[in-house]
């Protein structure tokens, strides 16, 4: 029985993850903003899969509350094998350009609060000498583009943080997986057109759990994003600055 903590559990990808994890017989603690949404989710997971599911509503912006929430979750589970940090927000790039306070808020959610949870989880796993840490970053963090560099910069920060964490925890027996999804069909992308690049959250969740199982370091999901981003990263900056991306 895998003991799993999901932070940002009501996000589209996290819901699919929780469903697949509960199906495999794991016990779960779900942390998220909305108590009523967490409650609906927990009822479904308990009923469909007979899973042990506990919930706790948290405020992502109040960093002081994160460590105690992580400790309570680990206590409830009697340990932790897998922790997945999923929360995020896709802010309005144009609005963030006009008002830096909005950009700052995006950074707090997508970068700092994720780091805050990861920091506490990493320390607890390090003490224990085992565990798997997963965080959802984004392909947007691979290169800054005019269309969403606030989100991209926050995710780039998160990706670098995860690299360092992986390097630090490797000798301690703790694995760190960075997930870089492309477009996923969730409420975050509801305003975008559903093209060929749009993947289902179920497929992305399946990829993530498989990558965590096989101890991959960085996962692009669906797989073709690795190659798309490779091309985008290879374009020299002197040319890139002229592109409308």
Binding site for other proteins (CB under 8 A): 10, 34, 36-37, 40-41, 43-44, 47-48, 187
Nearer to other proteins, 23 or 123 (CB): 23
CB of 92 to other proteins, least distance (A): 18
CB of 186 to other proteins, least distance (A): 9
Cβ count near 19 (within 10 Å): 18
CB of 37 to other proteins, least distance (A): 5
Nearer to other proteins, 35 or 95 (CB): 35
Nearer to other proteins, 167 or 187 (CB): 187
Minimal CA–CA distance to 90: which of 148, 131, 21? 148
CB of 5 to other proteins, least distance (A): 21
Nearer to other proteins, 42 or 80 (CB): 42
Nearer to other proteins, 24 or 123 (CB): 24
Nearer to other proteins, 48 or 168 (CB): 48
- With beta carbons less than 8 A apart as the criterion, state whether 186 and 11 touch: yes
CB of 58 to other proteins, least distance (A): 17
Nearer to other proteins, 147 or 187 (CB): 187
CB of 81 to other proteins, least distance (A): 26
Please name the residues in contact with 156: beta carbons below 8 A apart, sequence gap of 6 or more: 141, 142, 144
Angle ∠(41,6,154) on CA atoms, nearest 5 = 115
Q: Round to whole Å and give the CA distance between 208 and 180.
A: 10
CB of 187 to other proteins, least distance (A): 6
Give the Å distances, CA to CA, from 170 to 41, 82, 132, 207, 208: 34, 15, 11, 22, 19
């Amino acid at each position: 029985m895998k003991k799993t903590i999901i932070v940002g559990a009501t996000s589209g990808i996290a819901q699919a993850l929780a469903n697949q994890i509960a199906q495999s017989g794991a016990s779960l603690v779900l942390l998220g903003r909305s108590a009523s949404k967490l409650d609906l989710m927990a009822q479904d997971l308990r009923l469909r899969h007979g899973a042990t599911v506990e919930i706790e509503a948290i405020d992502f912006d109040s960093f002081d509350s994160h460590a105690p929430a992580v400790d309570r979750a680990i206590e409830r589970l009697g340990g932790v094998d897998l922790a997945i940090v999923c929360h995020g927000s896709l802010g309005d790039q144009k609005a963030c350009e006009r008002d830096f306070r909005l950009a700052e808020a995006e950074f707090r959610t997508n970068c700092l609060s994720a780091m805050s949870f990861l920091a506490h989880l990493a320390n607890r796993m390090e003490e224990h000498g085992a565990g798997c840490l997963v965080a959802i970053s984004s392909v947007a963090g691979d290169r800054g583009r005019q269309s969403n560099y606030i989100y991209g910069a926050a995710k780039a920060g998160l990706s670098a943080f995860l690299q360092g964490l992986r390097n630090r925890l490797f000798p301690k027996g703790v694995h760190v997986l960075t997930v870089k999804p492309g477009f996923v069909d969730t409420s975050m992308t509801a305003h975008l057109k559903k093209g060929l690049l749009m993947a289902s959250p179920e497929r992305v969740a399946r990829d993530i759990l498989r990558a965590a199982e096989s101890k991959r370091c960085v996962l692009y999901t669906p797989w073709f994003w690795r190659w798309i981003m490779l091309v985008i990263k290879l374009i020299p900056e002197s040319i890139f600055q002229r592109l409308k991306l």
